Amino acid sequence: MVSATSPSSTAGRRVALLTLGCARNEVDSEELAARLNADGWQVTTDGEGADVVLVNTCGFVEKAKQDSIETLLAAADTGAKVVAAGCMAERYGRELADSLPEAGAVLSFDDYPDISARLNAVLAGEQVTAHTPRDRRELLPLTPVARHGSGVSVPGHAQTRPAGGDLVADEHTPAHLRPVLRHRLASGPVASLKLASGCDRRCAFCAIPAFRGAFVSRPPEELLAEAEWLARTGVRELVLVSENSTSYGKDLGDPRLLEKLLPQLAAVTGIVRVRASYLQPAETRPGLVETIATTPGVAAYFDLSFQHSSEPVLRRMRRFGSTARFLELLGSARDLAPAAGARSNFIVGFPGETRGDVDELVRFFSEARLDAIGMFDYSDEDGTEAAGLSGKVSAATIKRRYDRLSALADELCSQRAEERLGSTVEVLVDSIDGGLVEGRAEHQAPEVDGSTTLVAPEHGDVDLAALRPGDLVRATVTGTEGVDLLAVPVELISAAAGPPNGAR
């Protein structure tokens, strides 16, 4: 058993926190960073000179798992103590610890509240016994509304301060008085805000619910408090993340809670854009479509998890929909916001997929006018239903289909970008490097959907050299490079505030 440590015992110790995988993991890392910082650790994202390297691993697909292993091994080569946390560590536990002796410890989500003690134990040479993995869905009640207050550790849902006891807050506490357990590891005008964790869906190809657990929403007052805190650190755009954002509020007794929360987040002082992501098509109600498409300050952007469009394949995936239903959903959004952005991910080569199914997906691609398409070639995942399905598609056929559909997706998304030539877009400036001003329009989410480069106008009121990260600019699209846009700024809509004080 590892004993608790005081801040004085950790003073001056340096921990490097390396994050792999999705934006949800990034939020979890910032919770861990807050716990460690409060206990006196020097927290960095640079492994140079660190006493311990804490790797927040990804366990989604085989390539992500391999990246996690390589990162852990590379960290061990520096001579620092190495600790594995995150999804891969949770998913494999003792098995990972046995196969990776280079790691000083393999931690579970249950270790997060005591992360400082765990790292101190590793530095002291103590044995930290790895957990035996279990289905985390079984830790919470089957009924969603009974899940709150269960005491189960859910990353990103911290209910206690690292060294200060219970949070003194209830539903009546104003947002600006609520404590926030988060320490930003990156600067910049964009930050993710975790709506919820876990998932109650049973998609045949996905193992995430087994190691992330059942779906649990964060209370809206907690999210508003964190949004206000992020705004005070200089954040201008909030990206709402979860495993399934359209389920938000169902365990709080209000399945339409996201529709109510979005305008509240958009009204937070300093926030100029709120972006919802990870929408399930089968749960995307007309009211939510309208809220996203028409609310000022909310990006008219639809990140819809289609995965395929052939109805037989979707049924085998244990999902719902079809080409016709998905086109209708996209059409309903564009009826309200003709320039709305839309992106999705797709799996090619799922067991039982036929040439006809691929042709149906080609038809959907051709009619959907998506701004961005993510393609995945199917591979069996441990513990999933799909791994045991018959009708496996050969690796050669999967590659051939993947290459064909990827090329088509690139072509169609480039054409969609060209449709925006001459249009007016609102660009949030992300970075300025050597005079190159990069940002994103409403239809471009961070890192995955392309970007917009602002180019100097021949004349006008906007001085390109005076722009700063966080500025919101109205611009006219003048060129495209694949999915990326070139645009001339015509008006500064909202200037970023000065350098944030007390951001950490």
Instruction: State the residue for tokens 């929408």.
Output: 279
206 assigned binding-site residue: yes
Q: Is 148 exposed, middle or buried (0-12, 13-18, 19+ CB in 10 A)?
A: middle
Residue 208 · residue 257 · CB < 8 Å? no
Contacts of 36 (CB under 8 A, 6+ apart): 10, 15, 17, 43, 115, 116, 119, 162, 183
- Token readout for 145 is 């509304």
Q: What is the C-alpha to C-alpha distance for residues 243 and 198, in angstroms, rounded to an integer? A: 6
Residue 89: helix, strand or coil by DSSP?
helix
**DSSP-assigned letters across all residues of 374-392:** EEEE----TT-GGGG-S-P
413 assigned binding-site residue: no
The length of the chain is 504
Residue 500 · residue 234 · CB < 8 Å? yes
Q: Which residues pair with 52 in a beta bridge?
A: 15, 81
58 assigned binding-site residue: yes
**Strand intervals (E) in 317-415:** 341-348, 372-377
Phi/psi at 476 (nearest 5 deg)?
A: -105, 130
Distances (CA, A) of 110 to 102, 149, 156, 468: 22, 15, 12, 41
Supply the DSSP symbol for 113.
Answer: G
Q: What is the C-alpha to C-alpha distance for residues 472 and 470, in angstroms, rounded to an integer? A: 6
Q: What is the C-alpha to C-alpha distance for residues 109 and 31, in angstroms, rounded to an integer? A: 12
Instruction: State the residue for tokens 């309903």.
Output: 332
Residue 106 · residue 89 · CB < 8 Å? yes
Contacts of 422 (CB under 8 A, 6+ apart): 476, 477
- Token readout for 199 is 């998932």
Binding-site residue numbers for [4Fe-4S] cluster are 22, 58, 87, 199, 203, 206
Binding-site residue numbers are 22, 58, 87, 199, 203, 206
